[in-house]
Structure 1
Amino acid sequence: PYHDPDAANQQMTSLNFIDATDNAVRGAVQYFKKQGLKAGLTGFCMGGAVTIIGSVRIPELDAGVCFYGIPPAQAADPAQVRIPLQGHFASRDDWCTPQAVEAFESAVKAAGKSVEFYMYEADHGFVNEQRDAVHDAPSATQAWERMMSFWKKHLG
């Protein structure tokens, strides 16, 4: 369904974001923590939304980086973000709109939490090299470098 927008939308709207985060994702994080490792979570689009939900719901998580994904409002209270969180978003995005990003970021900061959110003059999916129509190499490179610096700072 990746290249079929209708099928992708159906998958996205049928996903139980909270169950996916609490069960599958948290289990993976717990595995790493049992190995004595720090755990970070990165996600793109739907995975980005799960990353933000994880920043609220996964107590073992150390940091998160989200790419163009904001979860449904009922899935993650911005005031409950409990880890360092970085986000990379596109100025041209019909699903994860700049207004939604700004509202989420403002709510997190109003709660006294620290987040790093970046907005790129690009389209949703701009990091994906397999989608020529939206890939933006300069923005993708900058986002990737920012993410790697963030991981070095928070995960070592």
Structure 2
Amino acid sequence: MSHAEHENPRQNVTFPATDAAGADHAHGYLAVPAAGRGPGVVVVQEWWGLTDHVVAIVDRLAAEGFVALAPDLYGGRTTHDAAEAMTFLRELPPERAARDLAGAVSYLEGHEAVTSGTVGAVGFCMGGAFVLSLAAQQGGRIGAAVPWYGLPADETDFSRLTAPVLGHYGESDASIPVEAVHATAERIRAQSGVEPELHVYPAGHAFYNDERPEAYDRASAELAWERTTGFLRRHLS
């Protein structure tokens, strides 16, 4: 099934994403730095879809010198309604998301503007969970993994993960308890040997999302952003 069934004006690039059924394509939003070249980073959306907020994150990474790509995992659909977002998430087959994200990694690997030998992955909420799953699935193709307030399923196999991990979580996040964050970190450590770098902020869930004033925490958001860009620069070369 093509993702072109819903048009999203934020989409500006199409790339191959192959699954067991054969070749297909995915769409997304790509931004290249003013210098024309830089390390490659996949940005994984929240459960709201490829929204203006996600586009702004991609643009901000490009302004920091990265070639950033956000795949449109919902095929053009976006929402600001939590019930509808839950429906979109439930209708997203995990294998299709994995295919589209792997396709985004391949696209950046082959892009003439990308200077890094590996690709970074940054994701928020649902996207944070997908970042850790992607790093586990793709092994050495992912050079840095940065989940923001998201955790994958407990049964995720981290044995192939080699990327350094930087995680950002809120201490008052009711949906992602700090205990669950530490339990996931322990599984990563035990299965892969990677020691995750975790930061817990005096904030709740989605503290980077300035489209949601009830959640946004500017001080935590800016500190986590500074840590993220520094981490990506250190590990993507």
TM-score by length of 2: 0.60
CA contact (8 A) 1:44 1:67 kept: yes
CA contact (8 A) 1:42 1:65 kept: yes
- Measure the CA separation in 1 of the matches of 2:197 and 2:167: 6
Aligned residue among 94, 101, 122 for 1:17: 94
Is 1:147 equivalent to 2:228 in the alignment?
A: yes
- Measure the CA separation in 2 of the matches of 1:18 and 1:143: 30
Per the alignment, in what secondary structure is the counterpart of residue 122 of structure 2? strand
Q: Which residue of 2 aligns with 1:49?
A: 129
Aligned AA (1:100): A
Q: Which residue of 2 aligns with 1:29?
A: 105
Is 1:103 equivalent to 2:183 in the alignment?
A: yes
Aligned residue among 58, 62, 65 for 2:146: 65
Q: What runs of 5+ residues in structure 1 fail to find an aligned partner? A: none
Q: Which residue of 1 aligns with 2:207?
A: 126
Aligned residue among 197, 211, 223 for 1:116: 197
- Measure the CA separation in 2 of the matches of 1:80 and 1:61: 11
Per the alignment, in what secondary structure is the counterpart of residue 62 of structure 1? strand
Higher strand share: 2
Percent of paired sites with the same residue: 32
- Measure the CA separation in 1 of the matches of 2:136 and 2:146: 13
User: Structure 1 pair 78/125, CA: closer, same or farther in 2 (3 Å)?
Assistant: same
Is 1:4 equivalent to 2:85 in the alignment?
A: no
Per the alignment, in what secondary structure is the counterpart of residue 203 of structure 2? strand
Residue 17 (structure 1) shift: 2.9
Aligned AA (2:105): V
Residue 79 (structure 1) shift: 4.2
- Measure the CA separation in 1 of the matches of 2:88 and 2:115: 32
Per the alignment, in what secondary structure is the counterpart of residue 142 of structure 2? coil
Aligned AA (1:128): N
- Measure the CA separation in 1 of the matches of 2:201 and 2:158: 22
- Measure the CA separation in 2 of the matches of 1:146 and 1:16: 32
Per the alignment, in what secondary structure is the counterpart of residue 3 of structure 1? coil
User: Structure 1 pair 96/78, CA: closer, same or farther in 2 (3 Å)?
Assistant: farther
- Measure the CA separation in 1 of the matches of 2:107 and 2:135: 17
Pick the structure with greater CA Rg: 2
Higher helix share: 1
Q: What runs of 5+ residues in structure 2 fail to find an aligned partner? A: 1-47, 49-78
Per the alignment, in what secondary structure is the counterpart of residue 123 of structure 2? strand
1:96-137 Cα deviation digits (max 9, x unpaired):
221211100122223421211111111100001111101001
- Measure the CA separation in 2 of the matches of 1:80 and 1:152: 23
1:32-53 Cα deviation digits (max 9, x unpaired):
2123643111110111111000
Aligned AA (1:141): E
Aligned AA (2:128): G
TM-score by length of 1: 0.88
The count of corresponding residues between Structure 1 and Structure 2 is 154
